[in-house]
Amino acid sequence: MALFLLRRTTQMIVVVICVVTLVFVLLRIAGGDPARLMNAADASEEVIAATQARLGLDQPLAVQYLYFLRSIVTGDFGRSFHGGYEVRDVVFAALPNTVALAVVTVLVSTAFALLLGIGSALLRGTLLDRAVQVYVSLAQSTPSFWLAVMLVLVFAVNLSWLPAIDFTGPISFVLPVITLMVALTPILIRTIRQSFVETLERDYIRAARARGVSNARVLMIHTLKVASLPLITLVGLQSGMILAGSYVVEVIFNWPGIGKLAVDALASRNYPMVQGSVLIAAVAFVLVNFVVDILYSVLDPRIRLGAEA
Amino acid sequence: MRLRRLAVLATGLLLVAACSPSEVPGEEPADAVEDASEAVDGDEPSGTVRFLIAENFWADWTPYQSTAQSQSRLNHHIYDTLLTFPSGDLGDPQPHLATEWEQIDDDTWEFTLRDDVSFHDGQPLTGHDIKASVELASGAAGEETVLQGRWVPTTVEVIDDHTVRFEMESPFASLFNAIRQTPIVSAEDVEAGSERLAANPNGTGPFILESETETIKTMVVNPDYWGGPASIDTLVWEYVGDAQTRVNALLAGQADAIDRVPPEHLPTIEEADGFELISATASEQVNLFSVPNRVPEWDENPDLRRAVMLAIDHEALVDSLVQGESVAAQSFLPSETLYYSPGEIDYSQNLEEARALVAEAGLEGLEFDVWAASGFLPRGEQVAEAIVANLNEIGLEARLVTADVAGLVDDSVDGTGLLYHISWSSGGDPDAAAGIYASPNRWTHGDDTIDRLVQEGKTTMDETEREAIYDELQQYLWEELPHIPLYYSDFTVAYSDELQGLRVLPNYETNFYPASISE
């Protein structure tokens, strides 16, 4: 176990360093001098140069990169180009909002997908099964940005039942979570249904039933445990994706999370803020995957943690 | 089993706790903002106004280091200027921090200050504050500032605590515009250095900065304001880049005012009950700006530039794409600019004539790039697409390149494009409007006539002579077409009718000081 943890931690550090390095390089390759964006179009070259010096952009790229690595190691992500705020403070203030959105979305989506997926597997070929298939097809073909706007127009603007924007309390989750849920659940439902259909036909399930084990026990203990392995993989990946990439929903709902922070910062080439946001998103992503690996071994003892495998 | 239920309950409680928004340092959560709008008796300030804006906050509070519109609008609420221009007309200054002003000679002006003004930290305003501010802003203090391009170097003599005399390096006809753009800061803060100025906006204005984040600035009323306290108690400025989100927030009652309403949303807001619109057109000029030395034929052949101008259907761009209150450009200066005079040559679309000009010049098949930025000017990509189609109809081989604003600016500095679809906002001052066409900056072609006329316009004090100079300049630009003028932007603010007295000037200045909000 200790060896596994050491190996995975090393892997995670390498992955995070690779990601932030890639972002550092891509930001510079993408072009767009922040100093020019901050000044008027007719600003003199002297003024531009003074701004570049103030932002540290007059240093060679290698020096900027070393400063950047040092800032990661010291836990000081630098200061925002706009307003001079500590990037660390801003990013860590936004992180819980994104995590809250991700947790609620994953819980609601998983519960919803389990309900429809299991129901659909148990009632194969029935009207319910067909209705679920129709939902899956519709949900898969619905663009998130369109759905989000429609939900706001109906439930916030026309009916005034729910807030259109902001994160002010539990009620604020309803529309963003529905938007994300519609995007996430089709593949979850398909996976659960398929997994249950296959598992229910296994010999050991038949044997359990033959031994007189109740249907509920067969379903909840014998089937769910096996069928949940692919589900955990998917939920793990999707959690990471929401943590790192729910920016469309965050922008439309003005959700004060990391996604919106990164998008706003990218438009103005606010390098420290983009780098800080991506760093935290990358760490969150690898941590979630790490937890998924641990859960795997708990659910299926045949999967050993690393060295013995 | 009971333990499991307890665990489930505990998990549920934790989730509910987790569902409360994380507070950004210094930021009030939205429910706290609502609480701030408690009814207050009598004429006491009351109510919170939330204003969602389309332009991010680009700068810190270091004065004179930004010309961003968002920063300027914030500054006008926290700081005061020497004079004010309530009608937006620079020719009609009104007393503000200065009660009287007099031109002594071409290079010298004297101002008498109010004696009842204090900064937010309690220090009284004196002539030393004016001296520190103006010398820093104008570049006379030896420090590079963004604003110095709107000034000529100016030193200030403090005659007494409430009288100052400006000594300018040369006659300066755009002094009032420079004053309009120069918030007065405290001499003590200037002496303390740029870090203090950057972090501590200490003005004399009607609002005091209470808290701020990257995207939200919260101000509260200054109860000791010399002009009397504002009616609004709390004013929240928030950057929300997505136009649809701003409109949704307004219609859902979560914002009191929004700016840059996209034209396609104007009918929705007009038809909805309880909302008002104010449109200000004619202070922002949208051009296809060209960069010199990219395509020699463009620099050398005026017929090519005329052909491009004739190929574009300006009216159709405005009516079908940009919409709203936009107006097709008739000059290189926006129509709200002092001394505006429309060009005399008619450039209505004439594809036949344009095609003939290209053919006569032997320029059929000339290749060049036209750049447009997504998410910047309303429908910028579609406008550029229509223009490129027009240009290709007359035998040119124009290519459309789209990028974000940063990418476009980058290419304009050291790329290969020829024409860039961007805007220039100037607040009604002819020098500020024309300065972009004169040396030295990367958009200029080093045209001696333009450079001379812009310089003369800046330094000629006689109004009649100055008007003639700007007329000559506009006619010259309209004939030479160093860039391709397109239209004047529509800048529309939408607001709830519970918000009364909001002032939006033709130069986009948005003033909440005279406004009040119903409980």
Query: Which tens digits make up the pLDDT trace of A124-157?
Result: 889 999 999 999 999 999 998 899 999 999 999 9
pLDDT band for B519, please (50, 70, 90 cuts): low
* Yes or no, beta carbons of B244 and A149 under 8 Å apart: yes
Residue of A nearest to B269 (CA): A157
Chain A: residue whose CA lies nearest to B61? A83
The contacts of residue A230 (CB under 8 Å, 6+ apart) are A191, A195
**pLDDT (0 to 100) of residue A308:** 44
Selecting from B252, B407, B411 the residue whose C-beta is nearest the C-beta of A163 gives: B252
Name the closest residue on chain A to residue B238, using Cα atoms: A254
Cβ distance A34 to A57 under 8 Å?
yes
- B248–A149 C-beta distance less than 8 A: yes
Task: Name every chain B residue with its beta carbon within 8 A of the beta carbon of A276.
Answer: none
Vertex B46: Cα angle to B181 and B95 (nearest 5)? 30
Nearest to A157 among B215, B252, B422 (CB): B252
Residues 6+ apart with CB under 8 A from A88: A75, A76, A77, A276
pLDDT value at residue A195: 85
Cα(B308)–Cα(B351) distance, integer angstroms: 9
Is the pLDDT score of B495 beyond 90?
yes
In the three-class reduction of DSSP (H, G, I as helix; E, B as strand; rest coil), residue B452 is classed as: helix
> What pLDDT sits at residue B189?
95
CA atoms in the 13 A half-sphere facing the CB of B401: 20
Identity (one letter) of the amino acid at A160?
Answer: S
More confident residue, B72 or B108: B108
Q: Could A267 and B149 be called an inter-chain contact, meaning their C-beta atoms sit closer than 8 Å?
A: no
Would the CB atoms of A152 and B252 count as touching at under 8 Å? yes
Percent of chain A predicted with pLDDT > 90: 29
Instruction: Give the Å distances, CA to CA, from A211 to A196, A202, A227, A295.
Output: 20, 15, 21, 29
CA-based nearest distance A35→chain B, Å: 10
> How far does A123 lie from chain B, in Å, by closest CA?
29
- State the pLDDT at residue B324: 77
The pLDDT value recorded for residue A141 is 93
Secondary structure of residue B517 in the 3-state scheme? strand
b/e burial code for range B243-254 (CB count within 10 A of at least 16 → b): bbbbbbbbbbeb
- The enclosing H or E element of B480 equals helix B463-480
Is residue B40's pLDDT more than 50? no
Residues of B in contact with A46 (CB under 8 A): 144
Inter-chain residue contact B249 with A95, CB threshold 8 Å: no
Greater confidence (A46 vs B259) lies with B259
Contacts 24+ apart (CB under 8 A), B98-104: B103/B461, B104/B165
Q: Residues near B41 by Cβ (< 8 Å), separated by ≥ 6?
A: none
Give the chain A residue nearest B426 (alpha carbons).
Answer: A40
Q: Inspect the interface and report whether the beta carbons of B22 and A103 lie closer than 8 Å.
A: no
CA distance from start to end of chain B: 52
Give, in order, the Cα–Cα distances in Å from A230 to each of A203, A235, A300, B432: 20, 9, 12, 64
Q: What is the pLDDT of residues B145-155, one digit of tens each?
A: 878 888 999 99
| Cα B47–chain centre separation | 27
> What span, in angstroms and rounded, lies between the C-alpha atoms of B55 and B63?
19
Q: How close, in Å, is residue A90 to chain B by CA atoms?
A: 7
User: Of the candidates A33, A82, A170, which has its C-beta nearest B57's C-beta?
Assistant: A82
- Residue B234: HSE in the Cβ half-sphere, 13 Å Cα cutoff: 22
3-state secondary structure of B184: coil
Quick check: B67 and A40 CB within 8 A?
A: yes
Q: What is the DSSP letter of B20?
A: S
What is the model's pLDDT at position A23?
Answer: 85
Cβ distance B453 to B476 under 8 Å?
A: yes
Count the neighbouring beta carbons within 10 Å of the beta carbon of residue B396: 22
pLDDT in tens, B4-22: 443 443 444 334 434 445 4
A83 touches chain B (CB under 8 A): yes
Select the residue of B31, B149, B409 nearest A36 (Cβ to Cβ). Answer: B409
Query: CA–CA separation, A253 vs A165, rounded Å?
Result: 4
Task: State the Cα–Cα distance between residues A135 and A147, nearest whole angstrom.
Answer: 14
Residues in chain A within 8 Å Cβ distance of B436:
41-42
pLDDT at A302: 67
- C-alpha R_g of chain B: 25
Helix or strand holding residue B106 (H, E): none
* Alpha-carbon distance A204 to nearest alpha carbon in chain B (angstroms): 28
CB contact under 8 A, A32 and B436: no
How far is Cα A124 from Cα A227, in angstroms, rounded to an integer?
A: 17
Q: B213: which chain A residues are within 8 Å (Cβ-Cβ)?
A: 85, 90, 93
Q: What is the pLDDT of residues A98-107, one digit of tens each?
A: 999 999 999 9
Q: How far apart are CA A97 and CA A107, in angstroms?
A: 16
Q: What is the mean pLDDT of residues B210-228?
A: 93
Q: β-strand B234-239 against B48-53: which pairing, if any? A: parallel
B375 contacts in chain A (CB < 8 Å): 267
Nearest residue in chain A measured CA to CA from B253: A157
ipTM rounded to 2 decimals = 0.80
Question: What confidence score (pLDDT) does residue B4 get?
Answer: 42
Q: Which residues, at least 6 apart from A238, have a Cβ–Cβ distance to it below 8 Å?
A: A106, A109, A184, A188
Nearest C-alpha neighbor of B492 from the set B265, B274, B244, B242: B265
> Is B514 within 8 Å of B503 (Cβ atoms)?
yes
Q: What is the mean pLDDT of residues B155-171?
A: 96
CA proximity to B443, closest of B466, B423, B457, B463: B423
Distance from CA of B59 to the nearest CA of A (A): 5
Q: What is residue B62's predicted lDDT score, i.e. its pLDDT?
A: 82
Cβ contacts (< 8 Å) between A261 and chain B: which residues?
214
Q: Say how many Å lie between the first and final Cα of chain A, rounded.
A: 12
- Which pLDDT band, with edges at 50, 70 and 90, does B301 fall under? very high
CA A290 from centre of chain: 14
Mean pLDDT across A69-88: 83
Angstroms from A37 CA to nearest CA on chain B: 7
For residue B23, which residues of chain A lie inside 8 Å, CB to CB?
93
| B131: its two tokens | 């001296």
**DSSP line for chain A:** -HHHHHHHHHHHHHHHHHHHHHHHHHHHHH---HHHHHS-TT--HHHHHHHHHHHTTTS-HHHHHHHHHHHHHTT---B-TTT--BHHHHHHHHHHHHHHHHHHHHHHHHHHHHHHHHHHHHTTTSHHHHHHHHHHHHHHTS-HHHHHHHHIIIIIIIS--S-SS---SGGGGHHHHHHHHHHHHHHHHHHHHHHHHHHHTSHHHHHHHHTT--HHHIIIIIIHHHHHHHHHHHHHHHHHHHHHH-HHHHHHTT--SHHHHHHHHHHTT-HHHHHHHHHHHHHHHHHHHHHHHHHHHHH-TTS--STT-
- Hey, are the CB atoms on A38 and B213 less than 8 Å from each other? no
Say whether pLDDT at A168 is over 80: yes
Give me the pLDDT at residue B12, please.
43
Distance (Å, rounded) from C-alpha B297 to C-alpha B368?
10
Confidence at residue B11, expressed as pLDDT on a 0 to 100 scale: 42
The answer to whether B409 and B339 have CB atoms below 8 angstroms apart is no
pLDDT over threshold 80, residue B245: yes
Tokens for A280? Answer: 């935290």
Chain B residues with CB-CB distance to A163 below 8 A: 252, 254
* Token pair recorded at residue A185: 């659940």
**Top-confidence residue, B142 or B156:** B156
Whether A273 sits inside 8 A of B241 (CB atoms) is no
Inspect the interface and report whether the beta carbons of B242 and A90 lie closer than 8 Å: no
Look at strands B94-95 and B108-113 and give their pairing. Answer: unpaired
A173 interaction partners in chain B (CB closer than 8 Å): 19
The answer to whether the Cβ–Cβ distance between B410 and A33 falls below 8 Å is yes
* Contact check, Cβ <8 Å, B31/A168: yes
pLDDT band for position A50 (50/70/90)? confident
> Is A160:A166 a contact under the CB 8 Å cutoff?
no
Which residues does chain A have within 8 Å of residue B287's beta carbon, measured at their own beta carbons? Answer: none
Whether A172 shows a pLDDT value over 60: the answer reads yes
- Which residue did the predictor score with more confidence, B23 or A25? A25
Which tokens in the block code for residue B387? Answer: 């223009």
CA B464 to chain centre: 28
Report chain B residues whose CB lies below 8 A from the CB of A155. Answer: none
Whether residue B105 contacts residue B97, with contact meaning beta carbons closer than 8 Å, is answered with no
pLDDT tens digit sequence for A231-289 = 787 887 777 777 765 788 999 999 999 988 988 888 778 888 888 888 888 888 888 88
Contact B331/B362 with Cβ under 8 angstroms? no
Chain B residues in contact with A100 by the CB 8 A cut-off are: 18-19, 21-22
Q: Which of A30, A47, A152 sits opposite B146 (nearest CB)?
A: A47
Amino acid at B33: V
Closest CA–CA distance from residue B408 to any residue of chain A (Å): 8
Q: Which residues in chain B have Cβ-Cβ distances shorter than 8 Å to A39?
A: 66-67, 146
Question: What residues of A are in contact with residue B435 (Cβ under 8 Å)?
Answer: 42
Distance CA B513, CA B84 (A): 13
- Gap between the Cα atoms of B136 and B154, Å rounded: 9
Q: Residues 230-259, chain A: which have Cβ within 8 Å of B?
A: 251-254, 256
Distance from CA of B207 to the nearest CA of A (A): 19
Strands B419-425 and B367-373: parallel
For residue B401, the cross-strand partners are B371
Cα(B438)–Cα(B459) distance, rounded to whole angstroms?
14
Residues of B in contact with A99 (CB under 8 A): 18
pLDDT 10s digits, B461-478: 999 999 999 999 999 999
- B434 to chain A: closest CA residue: A42
Rounded CA gap, A181 and B137, in Å? Answer: 53
Confidence of residue A43 (pLDDT cuts 50, 70, 90): confident
Question: Which residue in A3, A18, A96 sits closest to A308, CA to CA?
Answer: A3
Size of interface A-B (CB pairs under 8 A): 176
Considering only CB atoms, A93 lies closest to which of B24, B68, B199, namely B24
Mean pLDDT for all residues in chain B: 87
Cβ atoms of A40 and B146 within 8 Å: the answer is yes
With a pLDDT cut of 90, the percent of chain B lying above it is 63
What is the C-alpha separation between B218 and B28, in angstroms, rounded?
8
Within B359-396, strands assigned E span 367-373
Q: Cβ contact (<8 Å) for B58 and A32? A: no
- Closest approach of B246 to chain A, Cα-based (Å): 9
Q: Considering only CB atoms, which chain B residues are within 8 Å of A48?
A: none
